[in-house]
Amino acid sequence: MRLETLPLLLADATPGSLGAWSLLPPLLAILLAILFRRVGWALFTGVMSGSLIVARGDFVEAGMALFRDYLVGDSETVYEHLLILLFTTLLGTMIGVITRNGAMQAVIGRLIRPGRDRRHGQKLTCGLGLAVFFDDYANTLVVGTSMRPITDRLRISREKLAFLVDATAAPVAGLALISTWVGYEVSLIGDVYRELGQDIDAYWLFVKTIPYRFYSILLLVFVWSVASSGRDFGPMARAEQRAISDGEVSRDGTAAPPALDELPDGIDRRGLVRNAMVPMLVLLGGLVGGLAWLGSDQALEVMLGASVLASLASAVMSRGTGALSGRETLVGWFRGGASMFAALWILVLAWGLGAVCGQGALGTADYLVEVSGRRLPAELMPALSFVLAAAIALSTGSSFSTMALLIPISLRVAWELLGAPVPDDPVLLGTLGAVLAGAIFGDHCSPISDTTVLSSAAAGCDHLDHVGTQAPYAFVVAVVSLVVGYLPIGWGVPVWVCLPVGVVATVMVLKVLGRVPVEKGVVSQLEE
């Protein structure tokens, strides 16, 4: 059974060279998600439509490929995805146990005292986001699930929490000298220079690009400015006004998984701080120690091992201190894990859409590169690379895939246009930094991004509410990065001029556009 027109329209196309057709599935998924607010069905429709296009309208072949190639994938992909799913589930079990035993409430009581206000809660969230620098997945899940009860009591909207978590996850992991991103990025850079016959220190070149990652740096400046000033604008300002005036941290009709929000009746809420701190320290210690011992190339295995130990530690501490019975511990463990399942399904679908848009199928990114691949002045390479990286990450939902495609292409093109420049040429460094930062920007605006999905889940926020409130902030920072960063760098303005100007511009934009939400007859402090 076939769609009669597709075989004719795609007669001359081959997988990976489907032209404008390759844009249809991601655009369809994004459009349906926005119109109907059903992210899961939107993603599934995107994956299925992509599979149909690749199969030339053959429903049988498309259905087989849907599960064989896209939702499951090859053995290496299955292994990596399974580790991430297990890590996320086990982290949910830990949070479920320490919530049920009252330990999270005890931590909240220590962190939030009389006189602590909403700004304190936001700055605390940012501080934790900066501290968990070694992996964006770990950052998102640890900070989001840990801070959610605290921000709820401080009347900080779930949309704001999701933004603070998401905006400090990938940028910090991408800028850190040691993280799960470093090995991947350094290997891509090293491979390009080896093909060019150049013997360079890829890690040192990676370090030199850090000042040129304007979007990542300026977004962190923006996030801290938002948290410390209390100012917001656009959809985020409306969400914050709702939370502070009406006490509704989530929009009507949305809610976080109850297993992680509320303790069941009859459970003692006066828990022990150590019952929460020990599992969290085990998790963080396992992640840092494992990465230092095994290296970032085994980051997923390290994450899984740390989450297993942390989950066990939460159960052992609950039983050892008498906070929970064996049955209550198991109930908290299973409910915590089950609360993550909806997010995990969306995550699998997001991966599937990324796979169907990949080079071996639709070739969405290849088409975007081809369309923008005209010979341009070398001075425009940083700006073009930033815009292109953002477009690819937005349409595929994967910053890693974007980097894998664009780092080789952009470096080779810049090398040719600049006439075999020295490795620390500012335009070359600006081009590389633009790819690394632009991929994160596109990820932040994409409703089909896996990290965006995880941020929504960890914060207990409606996914499209998170994207809708975060995207304007990301866009503003991206425009500043482009105007005072990547365009001037291409024309010879030193980075030590661009970066301070960008910081000032970012802060000024927030000061001009932002406003502090006003409570209606309520003192802007935590009510004890």
Three-class HEC string of 434-491: HHHHHHHHHHHHCCCCHHHHHHHHHHCCCHHHHHHHHHHHHHHHHHHHHHHHHHHHHC
Same domain, 471 and 487: yes
Domain boundary among 324, 344, 364: 344
> 440: number of CA atoms within 13 Å, CB side?
28
Token code pair at residue 14: 């081959």
Per-residue pLDDT at 264: 42
Q: Is residue 102 part of a domain?
A: yes
Q: Is residue 124 part of a domain?
A: yes
Q: Is residue 16 part of a domain?
A: no
Using alpha carbons only, what angle is made at residue 172 by residues 159 and 344, rounded to the nearest 5 degrees?
55
Same domain, 276 and 394: no
Contact 175, 217 (CB under 8 A): yes
Same domain, 318 and 269: yes
Q: How many CB atoms lie within 10 A of CB 501?
A: 16
pLDDT tens string for the chain (528 positions)?
A: 445 555 545 545 454 457 778 888 888 887 786 677 676 788 788 888 888 888 877 788 888 877 777 777 666 678 877 887 888 788 788 878 887 887 866 765 676 565 467 888 899 899 888 877 766 876 787 788 878 888 888 899 999 999 999 999 999 988 987 666 776 687 778 777 876 777 777 778 888 999 999 999 999 999 999 999 999 999 999 999 999 888 888 887 554 444 344 434 334 445 788 888 898 889 888 888 887 888 766 777 887 898 899 999 999 999 988 888 889 999 989 988 887 777 677 768 877 877 787 766 787 767 766 665 555 677 888 999 999 899 888 887 778 777 877 777 778 777 777 776 667 889 999 999 999 999 999 999 988 888 888 899 889 898 889 999 999 999 999 999 999 999 999 999 999 999 999 999 999 999 999 998 876 644 444 444
Per-residue pLDDT at 34: 63
Whole-angstrom Cα distance, residue 460 to residue 327?
Answer: 26
Coarse DSSP helix, strand, coil percentages of the chain, rounded to the nearest 5 percent: 75, 0, 25
Whole-angstrom Cα distance, residue 191 to residue 198?
Answer: 10
Q: Is residue 518 part of a domain?
A: no
User: CA nearest 230: which of 116, 92, 118, 345?
Assistant: 118
* Radius of gyration from C-alpha coordinates of the chain: 23
Whole-angstrom Cα distance, residue 329 to residue 332?
Answer: 5
Whole-angstrom Cα distance, residue 336 to residue 423?
Answer: 49
Whole-angstrom Cα distance, residue 416 to residue 418?
Answer: 6
Same domain, 57 and 98: no
Q: Helices 75-100 and 274-294, interaxial angle, to 10°? A: 160
Matching residue, tokens 């997945």: 137
Domain boundary among 312, 344, 376: 344
Token code pair at residue 429: 């460094």
Domain boundary among 72, 104, 138: 72
Same domain, 111 and 25: no
User: CA nearest 396: which of 450, 475, 438?
Assistant: 450
User: CA nearest 448: which of 387, 388, 399?
Assistant: 399
Whole-angstrom Cα distance, residue 167 to residue 482?
Answer: 18
Whole-angstrom Cα distance, residue 260 to residue 340?
Answer: 10
Per-residue pLDDT at 111: 64
The number of folded domains in the chain is 3
Same domain, 350 and 317: no
Q: Is residue 243 part of a domain?
A: no
Same domain, 126 and 148: yes
Same domain, 62 and 82: no
Q: How many CB atoms lie within 10 A of CB 179?
A: 22
Contact 349, 44 (CB under 8 A): yes
Contact 314, 275 (CB under 8 A): yes
Per-residue pLDDT at 524: 42
Q: Is residue 300 part of a domain?
A: yes
Residue type, position 394, single letter:
L
Same domain, 55 and 138: no
Model pTM score? 0.72
Same domain, 350 and 460: yes
Token code pair at residue 111: 């962190």
Same domain, 32 and 149: no
Per-residue pLDDT at 503: 97
Q: Is residue 295 part of a domain?
A: yes
Per-residue pLDDT at 267: 42
Q: Is residue 185 part of a domain?
A: no
Query: Domain limits at 145?
Result: 75-179+258-344
Same domain, 308 and 330: yes
